[in-house]
Amino acid sequence: MLIKLGYELVYRCERPTPMLLALTIHSSRAADLIVADHVVTTPPLAVTAYYDSFGNRCSRLVAPVGETRLRADALLRDSGEADEVACHARQHPVQALPEETLPFLLGSRYCETDLLGPVAWELFGQTPEGWARVQAICDFVHDRVTFGYEHARATKTAWETYQERTGVCRDYTHLAIAMCRSMNIPARYCTGYLGDMGAPPPHGAGDFAAWFEAYLDGRWYTFDPRNNVPRVGRVLVARGRDAADVPLSHSFGLQTLMSFRVWTDEVEEAAASADLHAARAGTSA
């Protein structure tokens, strides 16, 4: 299947403001890109690309006084297969885990394992280890937390989500990550695109999504406590310990987000080819 995806963000700054962006599709999907999601700025700005310490493709720029528009359009080929389910995936003893997974066992800015550890062991200490335990955590978070954009706030942590029982996808994800880490299962935060392909209506407005990956049986597997069913068309942008590591944008100064649009839609091969031909013709002109 072909997916057309992208974003348009508009910021207003009162003074020149350096910004870091984690908005580029992850390099693990580079081979699937037909049209890459290069950021286009209005007004035209110098944009520098770099890789962060987690291997994410990021950008940096200086937004001028006034409005700055950031936009990217991409075309990506996807298998059309839903997230993998591996019910027999085993949990590793901590002493057998690869060193690169160990940071994802520790508490972090939004995932307070010190507070949630006793809760997690009381709730899940008797569940079977491995996939079943991670799924039990996802079931608990999915059932406990009520979704609503009105419940979102930038400072909300896993512990607060557990207490308040409300949140958005990043809050579901932080709570599940903290529970997994408390049970000695490495878990890392993911952000990216997730369309409504294969999902029943009603479909919400476009947005970036959050989910997590748990390390089981020698590899990382995708889990999504917000939706809690395998989904189609998931496209990774960035990974980290939690949302603090991979904000969509981080500004070194005050800014106001004036507009926010995200799209991710399945398109027909013929329509995608026509769009691509038109784009190339425009570039050549």
DSSP state of 282: H
pLDDT at 283: 47
* Digit-coded pLDDT (tens) for 164-194: 999 999 999 999 999 999 999 999 999 999 9
Is residue 89 a part of any domain in this protein?
Answer: no
* 174 and 203 part of one domain: yes
Is residue 278 a part of any domain in this protein?
Answer: yes
* 149 and 215 part of one domain: yes
pLDDT for residue 131 is more than 50: yes
**Burial class of residue 118, CB neighbours in 10 A (0-12, 13-18, 19+):** exposed
Is residue 13 a part of any domain in this protein?
Answer: yes
pLDDT at 275: 65
Is residue 88 a part of any domain in this protein?
Answer: no
What is the number of residues in the chain?
285
121-130: long-range contacts (C-beta < 8 A, 24 or more apart)?
121/182, 121/183, 123/179, 124/179, 124/183, 125/183, 129/90, 129/91, 130/88, 130/89, 130/90, 130/91, 130/216, 130/217
Domain boundaries, position 215: 94-232
Nearest alpha-carbon partner for 65 in 134, 14, 5: 14
Share of the chain above pLDDT 90, in %: 90
Is residue 241 a part of any domain in this protein?
Answer: no
Query: Sorting pLDDT into bands at 50, 70 and 90, what band is 285?
Result: very low
What CATH number is attached to the domain comprising 105?
3.10.620.30
Is residue 65 a part of any domain in this protein?
Answer: yes
Domain tally, the chain:
2
* 156 and 277 part of one domain: no
* 59 and 159 part of one domain: no
Is residue 86 a part of any domain in this protein?
Answer: no
pLDDT for residue 10 is more than 60: yes
Q: For the chain, how big is the Rg over CA atoms in Å?
A: 20
pLDDT averaged over every residue in the chain: 94
List, in sequence order, the alpha helices (H) in 3-82.
none
- Strand 146-147, strand 166-167: pairing: parallel
pLDDT at 175: 98
pLDDT for residue 51 is more than 50: yes
* 55 and 101 part of one domain: no
- Strand 146-147, strand 40-42: pairing: unpaired
